[in-house]
Structure 1
Amino acid sequence: MGIAQFFLVFCSFLLVFVQGLDIPDPDEIEYIKQELETTVNSTVHLHCGSDIPTLFIWVFSRPGTERNEPLAYNYGQGSKLLALASSLGEISLLKNKTTLVIEGVSEEAEGVYTCQALYDTEDSPKVKFYYTQLHLQEEEESSRGSGSSAPDSD
């Protein structure tokens, strides 16, 4: 399934799914920003909150672009990984979680990862955007002890 087809299907599903929901005012949407440093061939865990949302989608944006490319999603029928994910390393989602795991991080993995999460709560739907800026360090830098920062776990 191509990117354009995926977005068409996802948007169609989203319209059907949220038809009976009142989408929150954009000022009520929560935006969580995180930064993470790693090296090529390492493993990283990108977090999308501590609660499992009703539906979510992970997208990726390369440095210098504003184009969001879908990586993975779950709209209630199990998680799906998309083709782009393989160019960033070995991608997986933790079972029963929204955490995106990249093993063997490639040089192409640097950029912004966004998880868009919709929570259908008793009070009203909640929308959260988790932005993780992934920086790649030179291996020499990491061996000098600059370390990596763990993302906020919400």
Structure 2
Amino acid sequence: MGIHLERALLFCTLLVLTHGLEIPDPDHIDYIRQQAKAVINTTVSLKCGSSMPTLFIWVFSKTEFDSSEALAYNYGLGPKTLPLANTLGDPFLAVNTSSLQIMQIQAEAEGIYTCQALYDTDKGPRVTFYYTHLSLQGQQNTAKGSGSV
């Protein structure tokens, strides 16, 4: 179940939202794995490819759990973030990109972020899954020169 069920559900969601857009060969879906590290209370930028997809959805799951929840999406009507995203920090989708940025990132944000991107190309539609494992470190030390002599 787990990650394979997540892929199937997200894939079906995008196909329904595209109103009948057919993927010629689902076996040719791309899967990209990435690592990201951040310090609690700083900003992290999670990438979803190098070009803007036609449609995309960001999903989050805690490392130790199989369940996933939607965080943000853009189905062609402008980017939207969902309430879960606010529990992880101060999220936003950068303008004209599919990058998810989280400012003041919280400890709860450690986990796996999946961006499912649908690209409408001249050669037909293409789907890419970007899996990013985010690891967090303790709070950033903002005090300078505060050591003992």
Shorter-chain TM-score above 0.5: yes
Aligned residue in 1 for 2:129: 129
Matches for 1:90-109 after TM superposition, within 5 Å:
90-109=90-109
What TM-score, normalized by structure 2, do the two folds share?
Answer: 0.81
Matches for 1:34-45 after TM superposition, within 5 Å:
34-45=34-45
C-alpha separation in 1, matches of 2:26 and 2:124: 14
Larger radius of gyration: 2
SS at match of 1:117: strand
C-alpha separation in 1, matches of 2:17 and 2:96: 24
1:17 aligns with 2:12: no
Aligned residue in 1 for 2:86: 86
Unaligned runs of 5+ in 1: 1-6, 141-154
What TM-score, normalized by structure 1, do the two folds share?
Answer: 0.78
- Number of residue equivalences: 130
Matches for 1:21-100 after TM superposition, within 5 Å:
21-100=21-100
C-alpha separation in 2, matches of 1:71 and 1:64: 18
C-alpha separation in 2, matches of 1:28 and 1:14: 15
C-alpha separation in 1, matches of 2:138 and 2:53: 35
SS at match of 1:98: coil
Are the equivalent residues in 2 in contact too, given 1:113–1:134 (CA < 8 A)?
Answer: yes
One-letter identity of the residue aligned with 2:99? T
Are the equivalent residues in 1 in contact too, given 2:110–2:136 (CA < 8 A)?
Answer: yes
Are the equivalent residues in 1 in contact too, given 2:15–2:22 (CA < 8 A)?
Answer: no
Check 1:16–1:89 CA distance in 2 against 1; reply closer, same or farther (3 A cut): closer
Unaligned runs of 5+ in 2: 1-8, 141-149
Q: Offset at 1:16?
A: 5.2
Q: Offset at 1:18?
A: 4.4
Extract structure 1 runs of 4+ deviating beyond 4 A. Answer: none
C-alpha separation in 2, matches of 1:77 and 1:59: 18
Q: Offset at 1:66?
A: 1.1
Please list the CA deviations of residues 108-128 of structure 1 after superposition, one character each: whole Å capped at 9, or x if unmatched: 000000000001112111000
Percent of pairs identical after alignment? Answer: 52
Alignment root-mean-square deviation, CA: 1.9
